[in-house]
Each structure stands twice: as structure tokens, then as C-alpha cells.
Amino acid sequence: MMRGLLLAVAAAVLTLSSLLVVTTGGERTMYGYEGGVAENFRPREQAGWPAPFLADSPDTSVIHQIGVEDDLRAGNLLGTYAFWLLVVLAARRIAGSRRPLQD
């Protein structure tokens, strides 16, 4: 029970640590309404890896800064957590199979 909880917490820590990966993918959004559309239609920053689960919100946040007020994408968050949980489980299995045999 405790080992499973520890693995789940490790996956959650890795998921939150993936917020350090900030990209500007192909998604664009409007930042402001003064001037032409082409001037305000800019790339949107996203954070999280492998599936970006936090996206810069042009309505409530500082432009091009990821923070707690930005748009959370729950499906991508769940997918990223599942990915890191599989990585942690695989690492545990590999580490367990490398233990020396006892006589």
C-alpha cells in the first residue's frame, strides 16, 4: 500500500516538474485588440511534457508567462500523469530485476 502511494507521489512530482518545459506550439491566440489582427495574433505558450497541460490565457494572465491563473487542460494533465506513472513503474521493475541473486 505504502509502496504504491510512493510511486503515485513520484509520478505526481514528475508531472509537476514537467511544467518547467515551456513551448510555443502551433497554437495561436489573440493578445489584445488594438491594431490589426496580425499584430495581436501571437503564438500561445504552453507548459508540461509530453502533453502540454497548462496554456497561457490571454484574458487573465501576464502575456507569455505561465502561472496558476492560466488554462488547465485536464485531459492532457491526466495523460501526462499516466505517462510518468508508467515511467516510474518501469524504472521500479528494472531496478527490481537488477538485484543480485541471494543464495
Q: Give the residue extent of every domain in the chain.
A: 2-97
pTM to 2 decimal places: 0.83
DSSP states along the chain: -HHHHHHHHHHHHHHHHGGG-EEEEEEEEE--SSS-HHHHEEEEEEE-SSS--EE--TTTS-TT---TTSEE-HHHHHHHHHHHHHHHHHHHHHHHHTSPPP-
Q: What is the pLDDT of residues 51-84, one digit of tens each?
A: 999 999 888 868 888 988 999 999 999 999 999 9
Q: Model confidence over 8-51: pLDDT tens digits?
A: 999 999 999 999 999 987 888 888 777 877 778 888 999 999 99
